[in-house]
Amino acid sequence: MSMTMTQKILAAHAGLDKVEAGQLILVSVDRVLGNDITSPVAIREYEKIGVKGVYDREKVTMVMDHFAPNKDIKAAVQCKMCRDFCDKEQITHFYDVGRMGIEHALLPEKGLVVPGDVVIGADSHTCTYGAIGAFSTGVGSTDMACGMATGKAWFKVPSAIKFVLKGKLNKYVSGKDVILHIIGMIGVDGALYKSMEFTGEGVKELTVFDRLTISNMAIEAGAKNGIFEVDEQTEAYIKERSDREYKVYTADADAEYDEVYEIDLSEIKSTVAFPHLPENTRTFDEIGDIKIDQVVIGSCTNGHYKDLYEAAEIIKGKKVAKNVRAIIIPATQDIYLKAMENGLLKTFVEAGCVVSTPTCGPCLGGYMGILAAGERAVATTNRNFVGRMGDVTSEVYLASPAVAAASAIAGKIADPLEIMKEGK
């Protein structure tokens, strides 16, 4: 029987020769992930199970990133609970302040995920690692607890949608624009419990970081996971960060897909998702004069060095508009250090931006960028639901780092091509 990339990975980890869509299977997992919000719930459930230690202390990972550095006493209690648990269980991969980063940027950077892995994480954007050919998906904290105890997880095998990419992206258009374009096309439930599988000649024109962004937001189309074919770029990225053996899975030529879409990357324009859903997308020929109060460049979706570099290229030599707060959040300590060494942080500060420690803070309305009533933000984050970043009357516009940077300078949602042409 023919299988997709995802189905092949799941079959191998279930010890089966084949699986089919809709089948319930018990799968061995290569990594279990939690953060400072979801892990405490999982720890409490894990303790109820009564096992004498996690299934593999090398394969359980906790990252303090949502409310860390701690924003209040409750956040401090949450992190302390994780810290004490990881100390007791001798968890190798525990990442706290000073060593941490935003989890879905940190794990690939540390080489903790390789092609062919199965990763579960108590965070919906765990689907990020499909960018490097792994099956990864978000689960609840109870599933995380069971995963820590047994190294297993139950799945219903997903069917798939195939995206055949061709062409090459234009200037200031990135992976964020690609995934917003796709979500605008198929809707926030267009891939419900399906695998979004990316293939075609156009894949090689996307950097690994573009792919990380696209896979990260597969969940915003309702997908179980997003996954890219492994190519030379992927393997170079992995070999630089990990010495683990890995296996590359490719879909069978006659694998079945629920839908197949062909997408010409050269036709994709800078895209903005208007409130209050990621599917509410528009390009600049449809965007009017929309003044903003805040810009956030960062998050697990767009806090990579590539993202900061693109933003700095637009911001350099300019000033953030009056009455706009521009917040830059490198996704990991290594990204922060590289941005500092290469002068990007100097560019941001001189322009009137503030640079933060790695944190998820503003993305989920936690801290470091909460919106007041009626305020508008352009953010490189992944969700713009009602009240996502603050007051229920505030508005979040999702965009690429280039669009966010241009908007910070213009004081309104702005096309980076126009900003660079005008030299503002």
Phi, psi of 295, deg, nearest 5: -130, 135
Residue with tokens 């979706």, as numbered in its chain? 301
Q: At what angle do helices 73-88 and 39-49 cross, to 10 degrees?
A: 40
**What's the distance, CA 106 to chain centroid?**
11
Contacts of 80 (CB under 8 A, 6+ apart): none
Pairwise CA distance, residues 233 & 237, whole Å: 6
Pairwise CA distance, residues 390 & 409, whole Å: 23
Domains and CATH numbers, the chain: 5-265 (3.30.499.10), 273-419 (3.30.499.10)
> Cα torsion for 223, 144, 102, 175, to the nearest 10°?
-10
Q: Of the candidates 247, 162, 166, which has an alpha carbon nearest to the alpha carbon of residue 203? A: 166
Pairwise CA distance, residues 416 & 63, whole Å: 34
Residue with tokens 């593999």, as numbered in its chain? 56
The residue type found at 165 is L
Q: How far apart are the first and last CA of the chain?
A: 58
For the chain (424 residues), the mean pLDDT of every run of 10, in chain order, is 95 97 97 97 95 95 94 95 96 94 96 97 96 97 96 97 97 97 96 97 96 97 97 96 95 96 97 96 93 97 97 96 96 97 97 96 90 97 93 97 97 92 66
SS3 of 339, please? helix
| Per-residue model confidence (pLDDT) at position 419 | 87
* Angle at alpha carbon of residue 64, lines to 401 and 301, rounded to 5°: 20
| Per-residue model confidence (pLDDT) at position 418 | 87
Phi, psi of 154, deg, nearest 5: -90, 140
Question: What pTM value is reported for the model?
Answer: 0.94
Phi, psi of 158, deg, nearest 5: -80, 150
